[in-house]
Amino acid sequence: MTASETSPGSLPSSAPAATTPASASTVAAVADKLPRQDFLVIALLLVSAFVVILNETTMSVALAPLMADLGITASTGQWLTTAFMLTMAVVIPTSGFLLQRLGTRGAYLLAMSLFSAGTLLAALSPGFAWLLVGRVVQASGTAIMMPLLMTTIMTLVPPAIRGKIMGNVSIVMAAAPALGPSLSGFILDVLSWRWVFGTVLPIGLVALTLGFLYVRDVADRTHSRLDPFSLLLAALAFGGLVYGLSSIGEAARHTPVVPVWVPILLGAAALGAFVWRQLALQREDRALLDLRVFTAGSFSLALGIMAVGMVAMFGSLILLPLFLQDAMGLEPLQTGLIVLPGGLLMGLLGPTVGRLYDRVGPRPLVIPGTSVVAVALASFTTVHADTSPWFVLGLHVTLSLGLAFMFTPLFTTALSSLRPHLYSHGSAAIGTVQQLAGAAGTAMFVAVMTTRSLAYGRDGASAPVALAEGVGDAFVWGTAVMLVAVGLSFLLRRPAAAAPGAPHDDADETVEDAPAPLAH
């Protein structure tokens, strides 16, 4: 097999199969470089994904002034976040189909058009209803962007440097959420809440224009028809599960209008029907979400470990601000500054971890990563109302360090385990599991914290002390879950390269975690 058959951007197919050491070095050097046009597409997708995810986390700080300006209650205002999350949960499972049907260019233009239109509508909305619609439209574009980014990277980047390029995704996933609340707070200090959207809108429009000029299709498009029944089942399944799981924490405080088991049971039943429907449709390559991605053992294993990491990350993200403000009495700005370094560290380490992955594979990185996360979660069980903020800062940085060594290798391992025509469905499956794991992590941590805090309060503890003790108990459960991921990480293997046109076994084709040869 020639070099051009094994990786994009390598030597022409006329290159001889037998090579001297010098020519082999040349092949390696060429394979380690992306053509300028491919680099431009990936860079544009990275910037666009950063913007849409940055926008996703700005609402947490903007909610209070927005509620005061529109005259709405906290329970009503919370729907701006809930509706965004539910839309993401419903649209992401369809993104695999959309990417194959519309192609890279069509999917990008659709995503950024929806995001820009939703941002404009939110900025100009005359009332809450139009603002809510704007958030839903925004979320529809955001849901397409991350699967599009990961699928494009897997399609354009040679296997030898996928870890390094995929490491940049960690900057998007970690640094953007960390910067969102800080950016929102800075804007709200001098301008109204509408400028939280107004500041992002020009960036989105510039990205849309550049995408129209430079983004092209990088993979073959399909012409399969959309199955409306699958779309309905996906909405009921993933929307019901995410909504039900997200309601568990609130149900621990008071009896909800709709019992939490109702949406969870409805979602589980719809999920079973959705799986049955996809198994039938994928025989004709018409599935909305092709479940054959789960027949690759490395994909399922990496995704399982990733889901546990998401439970830990989202659970800690929801508890730490509550603990810092309500138990320790810190101001929102101080809270943001404490969690900011960890998020930035996690994002900035992404490219470095990616380069290490290219050399040593996933296991030497994920084993210590999961272990560090477990240690950090176990240390959080010792926090009290009088704990030093510097101690919390150190623990959060440690937690973020461990997560940084987990996510880039897991993303790359999971998608590299698939045949190229399944990359888009694999990206959609990863995004879907992220949403479910995030909702489950939030539900578990908040429910344990709430029930244990109420119990400590009944025993006579003050509110800050009861909350702090409840937070510590919640991290006990988080530690137990994370220990499962530590055990699973020992089973990881580097997947075999799956270059376009190359034969590939979806079922557990792996190579040992031996260091990859370095280009000269």
Distance (Å, whole) CA 230 – CA 290: 11
pLDDT of residue 256: 66
Angle between the N-to-C axes of helices 128-156 and 79-91, in degrees from 0 to 180, rounded to the nearest 10:
40
pLDDT of residue 497: 54
**Burial class of 447 by CB neighbour count within 10 A (0 to 12, 13 to 18, 19+):** buried
Provide the strand spans (E) within 59-104.
none
Closest by CA position to 228, among listed 288, 273, 279, 285: 288
Residues of the chain with pLDDT under 70: 1-33, 60-61, 74-75, 219-220, 249-257, 332-333, 497-520
Distance (Å, whole) CA 18 – CA 24: 9
Residues 6+ apart with CB under 8 A from 433: 303, 306, 307, 310
Distance (Å, whole) CA 151 – CA 208: 19
DSSP type of residue 381: T
pLDDT of residue 20: 41
Q: What does the mean pLDDT of the chain come to?
A: 80
User: Helix-strand-coil percent breakdown of the chain, rounded to 5?
Assistant: 80, 0, 20
DSSP type of residue 480: H
Q: How far is CA 46 from CA 42, 50, 95, 410, in A?
A: 6, 6, 17, 19
pLDDT of residue 254: 63
pLDDT of residue 26: 34
- In single-letter form, the type of residue at position 204 comes to G
Distance (Å, whole) CA 496 – CA 504: 8
Residues 6+ apart with CB under 8 A from 296: 417, 418, 495, 506, 507, 508
Check: pTM over 0.85? Answer yes or no.
no
